[in-house]
Structure 1
């Protein structure tokens, strides 16, 4: 194994459920919201619509990865590794032949698959670290990162912290420059949060520790980052989480995707990055932060425009 090379991420692709719905379309929504919300006004949460898958998740994964490879002009036979990331509950619902079906449909004949989970919505940023490690092997040239999250039961979409939507996101990691370069990353754990006993202090501590590890490696602080791509929690929750971590609300880019797609689990940071690039454009020499938070975890990745 060689030292970590410069890693570029590019060819981001996102696929959302074909069914566009409002929260109020969920059966018994008013009761579900009252049970979760402690009388908060849903209209202030920043959500408009969400998307729901109408077919097997494998079809959406194939569509998304195919778009990434097409954009990158990479042949399926030249992909060496694929890293899937999903939240804990979805891992249990994937069929045993999920990877074989996806690889076969895409023609990934030389590709070794792996799945990363057990870190809730932080799983895809943990997968990003793993993908970087894979490229330290000189025989590995192209790694596809795929995040997928979906909610089969509508009653589970309405939570106290987010409205869940369905999505798959993917990108290609290679040596050298991409749309962005991965500079550093960090994942932290809050054991109190894993037991459901987290506090303001424990959440703040894990966030600040992870940010210090990722940013400190480049002598940066949160205020130096151009834009932050966070988890698409309800707007008040997302703003609160950013504030306790030392991130300004003007740095966040999530309102548009939150309004249109809701919280798509561990896919959010890629969705927000791709949306920002479409709306504004990733710029060379600017720094960006991919960020995910979940009960018991906080993860971040420092990125630079290439």
Structure 2
């Protein structure tokens, strides 16, 4: 499989504040804080679009790791499918803005698992030729789809916005992709869905159904077991286990179930909420900047998404 040469994350300029959520919804501040775990977090500003954040992440990445535009043969935009404009290609928009005019541009919609799904597609043998690269853009506008006036949507009040760009190669890169395992439980397909109100799409949950937390733990555990068996490794070999920041309690429960020490994960809940598909890349960047990565480290990225899909993407740090 291929690898990640480099990546970058871009944050928006505005912030959501739990005080504003409380005023709009009537939900108690303490209850909202129990969902967000912080007083505020980055969201798209009134005049910001998600594709612009992805473009900025890509520009920063390509300035740091220059690659000739004609060597980038695939540009993929990954997210929920609810783009900044309907019936439109954000991948083509970003590619053109970057001067990448000879690539195949397309979108992958798998919600917060989409970035890792795109990585899986492009890191497989044969996806890229010799001396060819792919650019994966991860971007969504999740905060724009949360109705803060609806107390029934309070479980979504921790949805923030960020964008990322990953440069992929046929070779190992700085992070070699060792394995990808993904699974979907379609029985949850209708649990969350978008509804149009006042010309906006809001995410609404169906009538409460028990068992989703158990599905998370069960599916993630199964995917980790499958991955370790495929790689001939053990839980003790996992250097870092990074997960989407959707639910801190579930995060901690999963580490306990797997037997992974807390210090082998990253907890950014005190400063960031759920930043969509960029959560694990934010955590990975934090580890590298802190000097906590060592050559040969086995890193698992645990991603999940509405639908409901789960994925375990395993990387080896090459330095």
Q: TM-score, normalised by structure 2?
A: 0.81
Are the aligned partners of 1:180 and 1:303 in contact in 2 as well (CA < 8 Å)?
yes
Q: Among 81, 85, 98, which residue is 1:106 paired with?
A: 98
Cα distance change, pair 140–91 in 1 and its aligned pair in 2 (3 A): farther
Aligned length: 293
1:50 aligns with 2:5: no
1:291 aligns with: 302
Distance (Å, rounded) in 1 between the aligned partners of 2:122 and 2:165 = 12
The DSSP-based 3-state class of the residue aligned with 1:214 is helix
Cα distance change, pair 263–123 in 1 and its aligned pair in 2 (3 A): same
Q: TM-score, normalised by structure 1?
A: 0.84
Are the aligned partners of 2:6 and 2:167 in contact in 1 as well (CA < 8 Å)?
yes
Cα distance change, pair 154–206 in 1 and its aligned pair in 2 (3 A): closer
In the alignment, structure 2 segments of 5+ residues that lack a partner are: 192-208
2:202 aligns with: none
Cα distance change, pair 167–94 in 1 and its aligned pair in 2 (3 A): farther
- TM-aligned CA deviation for residue 129 of structure 1: 0.5
Distance (Å, rounded) in 1 between the aligned partners of 2:128 and 2:61 = 22
1:9 aligns with 2:4: yes
The DSSP-based 3-state class of the residue aligned with 2:96 is helix
Distance (Å, rounded) in 2 between the aligned partners of 1:228 and 1:261 = 18
Are the aligned partners of 2:36 and 2:158 in contact in 1 as well (CA < 8 Å)?
no
CA-atom RMSD in angstroms: 2.8
- TM-aligned CA deviation for residue 124 of structure 1: 1.4
Distance (Å, rounded) in 2 between the aligned partners of 1:44 and 1:120 = 20
- TM-aligned CA deviation for residue 260 of structure 1: 2.6
* Superposed CA offset, 1:12-36 (max 9, x none): 11111111343223463562468xx
1:115 aligns with 2:112: no
Distance (Å, rounded) in 1 between the aligned partners of 2:102 and 2:169 = 16
Cα distance change, pair 41–169 in 1 and its aligned pair in 2 (3 A): closer
The DSSP-based 3-state class of the residue aligned with 2:288 is helix
1:191 aligns with 2:189: no
**Mean CA deviation greater in 279-288 or 191-200:** 191-200
The DSSP-based 3-state class of the residue aligned with 2:159 is coil
In the alignment, structure 1 segments of 5+ residues that lack a partner are: none
1:304 aligns with: 316
Are the aligned partners of 2:137 and 2:165 in contact in 1 as well (CA < 8 Å)?
yes
Distance (Å, rounded) in 1 between the aligned partners of 2:21 and 2:157 = 14
